[in-house]
């Protein structure tokens, strides 16, 4: 139908007779002349209609924006100074000799502009229109190129791409499952995979000693700007290797992406921090190392502070820590400090204490308890100088880390202390094996229940609360982009970890019996990891909205305004699935 695409023609094509098809981006009808910008995925070109073909020109002048047309004509150089520098095809134009309307477009529900001018709900309802904008479609192009680069790297390293089931068994640990009722097995359900974790371990038992998959995963949890109910992982597993082999592989994947997408060499190996060190210094298990600020331990000052909150925190086994923000003292008015307090309290606990060191001296809301001398010793211990802002937090270790870690991120972003042009990657290792769940009153796997615990600690009888795992996360610019672990490959060890998690032998047998049985027949030591592919595309694409990098994303309430899912189904369908809706509320429509 078309001989070329809209972004393809250049000055050297002058005189060529071509047929172009695409969308009418804009019509400029000057009366005696009519210009039309024709657009497709590849670019845009100006089509000109001249009065020599009056009827054709009039018809073109009446075209609606976003109608689809086929134009035949001759490429010609634009006269004199009429070239458009902003357009790749700007030196030429197409003189139309015929124009066929392939599909007339109604008036659009919103106008297609470079910026996100229309509301997101409207753009999601008409996602296919939103994706016509090059500023949006470029994310999908990038995603494609990244997926291909990953495949090339892993294929080159002899990793085999194997597909695993989408309909699987529901598992107790982890996120809430999406369930699929079975028609054939009354009262039984499949679950959609939260990840192909057990399958890839079984593939190791099968002897596919290097596996990968770019695969959809599903978790029925509440959404965020970087979380969707269905998302994509680059899933990797290898046999006869340990954490270093997996990390080498993941680094090769990242190096390939940097080379192919950014044209840069990623310096390897990447730096490593233990979980404890990351928490201590940056208040986060996914520290953003683009911010040159570190948390300071100030516990020794608590007793002399004369401030109850600090004193009690230390007495109860907590910590007192501070973070210095260079040069921000003058910028922090009363109002800004209040806003900071609100944010801190929003995160939990009693909030933070702010000490300002301005030209007038030291000031703080706790100055009346501590006195000036104590404030002086605090800023000295924290390494502040005049003009700096010191933020203090006291209490339980993880809460203090969370508070100061969040302050670090927020203030650095707001005040330009973050170099957004750079990328900082690192491995975080030695995660805690378990975390105590107050709600369920039991220990939960911090990573997942197939992660190997630290062998020496286990042999030495270290309590659950202090036990470290052989898990690791890859962090880029403050985001966890991959996580993995050395897996348990011995049945006895796996059973022991299940028991530590409060999973009875019977339940383990019922839920994971197939895996435990597989381990009986010769299991290679294995390890692996999984990248959050959507987040990776977000970082490379420079967006903070995960919906940008997914062709058809869901809203905050896990719905699609475009096709109206989730929707109701016929009574007949329910009958077949042996389901009955109870407590039915109107709202979702079929």
Q: Measure the CA angle with vertex 563, ends 561 and 569; round to 5°.
A: 115
Cα separation, 578 vs 41, in Å, equals 47
Contact map string, positions 223 to 252, toward RNA, x by CB under 7 A: xxxxx-------------------------
**Of the two residues 385 and 556, which places its CB atom closer to RNA in the complex?**
556
Asked if 84 interacts with RNA (CB under 7 A), we say: yes
Q: Please say whether the dihedral angle defined by the alpha carbons of residues 147, 149, 154 and 156, taken in this order, is positive or negative.
A: positive
Asked if 173 interacts with RNA (CB under 7 A), we say: yes
**Of the two residues 149 and 562, which places its CB atom closer to RNA in the complex?**
562
Asked if 135 interacts with RNA (CB under 7 A), we say: no
Cα separation, 537 vs 363, in Å, equals 44
Q: What is the 3-state composition of the chain as percent helix, strand, coil, each rounded to the nearest 5?
A: 35, 25, 40
* β-strands 92-103, 43-49 pairing: parallel
Cα separation, 383 vs 329, in Å, equals 14
Q: Which of residues 466-505 bind RNA (CB under 7 A)?
A: none
Asked if 413 interacts with RNA (CB under 7 A), we say: no
Q: Are 146 and 262 in contact (CB under 8 A)?
A: no
Q: Which helix (H) or strand (E) holds 491?
A: helix 491-500
Number of residues that bind RNA (CB under 7 A): 73
Q: How far is the CB of 28 from RNA (least distance, A)?
A: 4
* β-strands 34-40, 17-29 pairing: antiparallel
Q: Which of residues 31-70 bind RNA (CB under 7 A)?
A: 31-33, 35, 37, 46, 48, 50-51, 61-62, 64-65
Contact map string, positions 329 to 368, toward RNA, x by CB under 7 A: -----------------xxx--------------------
Distance of CA 159 to CAs 196, 238, 246, 258, Å?
16, 8, 12, 20
Identify the CA nearest to 549 among candidates 141, 233, 193: 141
**Of the two residues 174 and 525, which places its CB atom closer to RNA in the complex?**
174
Q: Single out the residue of 86, 360, 584, 589 in contact with RNA (rule: CB under 7 A).
A: 86
**Of the two residues 302 and 501, which places its CB atom closer to RNA in the complex?**
501
Cα separation, 382 vs 62, in Å, equals 70
Contact map string, positions 535 to 554, toward RNA, x by CB under 7 A: ----------x-x-------
**Of the two residues 135 and 148, which places its CB atom closer to RNA in the complex?**
135
Q: How far is the CB of 314 from RNA (least distance, A)?
A: 23
**Of the two residues 20 and 362, which places its CB atom closer to RNA in the complex?**
20
Identify the CA nearest to 48 among candidates 23, 22, 68, 74: 74
Asked if 122 interacts with RNA (CB under 7 A), we say: yes
Asked if 439 interacts with RNA (CB under 7 A), we say: yes
Q: Which stretch binds RNA (CB under 7 A): 27-35, 139-147, 386-394, 535-543?
A: 27-35
CB atoms closer than 10 angstroms to residue 502 = 13
**Of the two residues 290 and 448, which places its CB atom closer to RNA in the complex?**
448
């Amino acid at each position: 139908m078309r001989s070329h695409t809209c972004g393809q023609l250049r000055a050297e094509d002058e005189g060529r007779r071509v047929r172009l098809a695409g969308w009418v981006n804009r019509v400029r009808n000057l009366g005696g002349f009519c210009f039309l910008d024709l657009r497709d995925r590849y670019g845009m070109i100006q089509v000109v209609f001249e009065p020599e073909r009056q009827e054709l020109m009039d018809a073109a002048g009446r075209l609606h924006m976003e109608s689809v047309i086929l134009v035949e004509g001759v490429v010609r150089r634009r006269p004199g100074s009429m070239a458009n520098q902003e357009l790749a095809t700007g030196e030429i134009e197409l003189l139309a000799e015929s124009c066929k309307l392939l599909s007339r477009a109604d008036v659009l529900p919103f106008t297609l502009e470079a910026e996100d001018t229309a509301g997101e709900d409207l753009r999601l309802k008409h996602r296919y229109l939103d994706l016509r904008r090059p500023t949006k479609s470029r994310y999908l192009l990038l995603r494609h190129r990244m997926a291909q680069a990953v495949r090339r790297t892993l294929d080159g390293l002899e990793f085999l791409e194997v597909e695993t089931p989408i309909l699987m068994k529901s598992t107790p640990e982890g996120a809430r499952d999406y369930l699929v009722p079975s028609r054939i097995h009354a009262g039984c359900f499949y679950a959609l995979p939260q990840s192909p974790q057990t399958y890839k371990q079984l593939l190791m038992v099968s002897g596919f000693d290097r596996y990968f998959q770019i695969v959809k995963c599903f978790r029925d949890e509440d959404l965020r700007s970087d979380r969707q109910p269905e998302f994509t992982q680059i899933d990797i597993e290898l046999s006869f290797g340990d954490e270093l082999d997996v990390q080498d592989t993941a680094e090769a994947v990242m190096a390939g992406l940097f080379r192919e997408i950014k044209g840069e060499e990623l310096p390897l190996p990447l730096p490593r921090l233990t979980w404890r060190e990351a928490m201590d210094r940056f208040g986060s298990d996914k520290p953003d190392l683009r911010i040159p600020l570190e948390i300071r331990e100030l516990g020794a000052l608590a007793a002399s502070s004369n401030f109850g909150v600090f004193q009690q925190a230390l007495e109860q086994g907590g910590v007192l820590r501070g973070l210095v923000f260079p040069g921000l003292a003058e910028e922090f008015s009363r109002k800004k400090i209040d806003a900071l307090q609100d944010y801190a309290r929003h995160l939990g606990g009693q909030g933070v204490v702010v000490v300002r060191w301005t030209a007038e001296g030291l000031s703080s809301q706790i100055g009346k308890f501590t006195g000036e001398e104590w404030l002086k010793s605090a800023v000295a211990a924290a390494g502040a100088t005049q003009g700096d802002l010191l933020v203090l937090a006291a209490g339980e270790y993880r809460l203090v880390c969370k508070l100061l870690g969040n302050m670090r991120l927020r203030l650095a972003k707001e005040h330009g202390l973050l170099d957004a042009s750079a990328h900082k990657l690192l491995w975080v290792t030695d995660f805690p094996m378990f975390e105590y769940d107050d709600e369920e009153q039991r220990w939960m796997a911090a990573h997942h229940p197939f992660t190997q615990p630290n062998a020496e600690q286990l042999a030495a009888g270290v309590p659950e609360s202090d036990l470290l795992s052989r898990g690791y996360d890859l962090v880029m610019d403050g985001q966890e982009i991959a996580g993995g672990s050395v897996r348990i490959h011995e049945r006895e060890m796996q059973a022991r970890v299940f028991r530590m998690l409060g999973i009875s032998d019977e339940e383990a047998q019922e839920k994971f019996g197939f895996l435990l049985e597989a381990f009986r027949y010769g299991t290679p030591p294995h390890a692996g990891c999984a990248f959050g592919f959507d987040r990776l595309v977000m970082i490379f694409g420079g967006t903070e909205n995960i919906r940008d990098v997914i062709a058809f994303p869901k809203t905050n309430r896990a719905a699609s305004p475009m096709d109206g899912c989730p929707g109701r189904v016929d009574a007949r369908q329910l009958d077949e699935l042996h389901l009955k809706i109870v407590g039915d509320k109107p709202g979702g429509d079929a």
